[in-house]
Amino acid sequence: MANLRESIGLVACAVVLAAPLVCRAQAPAPTPGGLAVEGALEGANPVMDGRWEVTLDGRIGFPRGRLKVGEFPTGSNTTGGGGTPGTLLRLHTLGIDVSEALEGAVAFYVTPRDAVRASYLYYFLDGSSTPRVSVVYNGQEFAPGPLRTNADFSRFSLAYERTLLGRPARARLIGSAGLTYVNLNPTLTGHGKSNSEDFYRQELPVPILGLRWDYPLGQRLLLQASLAGGALPRVDSLRKEGGTIYLQQSHADAGAGLAYLLRRNAKVELEYHFTYFFQYEVSHEDKNLFELIDNGLQARFTLRF
């Protein structure tokens, strides 16, 4: 895991440096920049007529947030902590000062303006700390001393996209609507013991709406901006643990940056990316909270075929 996490920091450089070399070696001949822009903005390759699109991106960020897991006396696993509400833990206090993420997506263009996209994101949030006071987590008490936290989570999304406004070589506005599902199971380890809370057991798909704006700055350079988000108010999760479990959840993602068209079916992007994720679960037995606010840098490679 350590080697994998260390390698993520090189994804941005690898994408930017390797992609142009690959495309230069494979391109049969230079193509007019105007056609490259037109093909990208229209959502279809005019020569290859590609319907499939594959993207791979890596992110490095500087997260803030909080984690709290409470287990009350009606629960069955209250050991050491005596069923307390749990300690409110800041990510910085847990030693989580840098985030890393990898995301891959596949899209199929039903028409030049309509597509269905599936994506999978894995977020790395790991840290080590040495609290000077006891920490109570999920009904278990961790004495002062070395503590290891793993708050990694994954996210699967499925969305429909449609070009709302735009013409060849002009600005383009794309709308999307879909669902996202998060798998979160944060774990604390210390003094030879470990405890985790399976947030994912109460998870529900969350509806997400989004907009993306592309604006050509030249024959091969694009300015891009995106915004997506969605939420569930306090709803019945349809699960029971010490009574009905209610779920409240919010998502937001925003980005802005530049894209460079390598050829008519490939481009690289570099942008600022903001992520917000909030999940809150409550029942007679549990009271769990996780919040992430992350600002970082993202690099992406896109290929159409």
**What are the pLDDT digits (tens) for 118-167?**
999 999 999 999 999 999 999 899 999 999 999 999 999 999 999 999 86
What's the pLDDT score for residue 170? 77
Q: Give, in degrees to the nearest 5, the angle at Cα 155 between 188 and 152.
A: 20
d(CA 261, CA 32): 11
- Going by DSSP bridges, is the β-strand pair 153-166/172-184 parallel, antiparallel, or unpaired? antiparallel
Of 213 and 241, the structure prediction assigns the larger pLDDT to: 213
The confidence score (pLDDT) of residue 37 equals: 41
Tell me how far apart the alpha carbons of residues 85 and 138 are, in angstroms, rounded to a whole number. Answer: 8
Residue 192 has phi, psi (to 5 degrees) of 75, 10
Total domains present in the chain: 1
Q: Give the residue among 147, 100, 127 at the shortest CA–CA distance from 4.
A: 100
CATH number of the domain within which 297 lies: 2.40.128.100
**Quick one: average pLDDT of 196-214?**
94
Residue 145 belongs to what domain range? 2-304
Distance CA 300, CA 102 (A): 10
Give the pairing type, strands 206-216 and 172-184: antiparallel
Binned at pLDDT 50, 70 and 90, residue 211 comes out as: very high
Distance from C-alpha of 183 to C-alpha of 283, rounded to nearest angstrom:
20
Give the residue-averaged pLDDT of 184-201. 93
Helix (H, G, I), strand (E, B) or coil at 295: strand
pLDDT one-digit tens code per residue, 11-69: 444 443 344 433 343 433 333 333 344 444 444 332 335 799 999 999 999 999 999 99
Structure tokens at 184: 């979160």
Q: What is the DSSP letter of 39?
A: H
DSSP β-bridge partners for residue 182: 155
* DSSP letter assigned to residue 126: E
pLDDT tens-place string over residues 157-183: 999 999 999 865 678 999 999 999 999
pLDDT tens sequence across 64-113: 999 999 887 654 444 444 457 889 999 999 999 999 999 999 999 999 89
Two tokens, residue 110: 């039903």
Distance, in Å, from the CA atom of 225 to the CA atom of 271, rounded to the nearest integer, reads 9
pLDDT of residue 168: 58
Spell out a b/e string for 212-244, using b for 16 or more CB atoms within 10 Å of the CB, else e.
bbbebeeebebebebebebebeeeebeeebeee
Among residues 122, 276, 282, which one has the least CA distance to residue 197? 282
What is the C-alpha to C-alpha distance for residues 193 and 196, in angstroms, rounded to an integer?
Answer: 11
Q: How far apart, in Å, are the Cα atoms of 109 and each of 94, 114, 156, 284, 302? A: 43, 6, 19, 47, 14
| Per-residue model confidence (pLDDT) at position 73 | 60
Q: Which pLDDT tens digit goes with each residue over 250-301? A: 999 999 999 999 988 899 999 999 999 999 999 888 899 999 999 999 999 9
pLDDT value, residue 84: 73
Looking at residue 139, what is its pLDDT? 87
Neighbours of 16 (CB within 10 A): 16
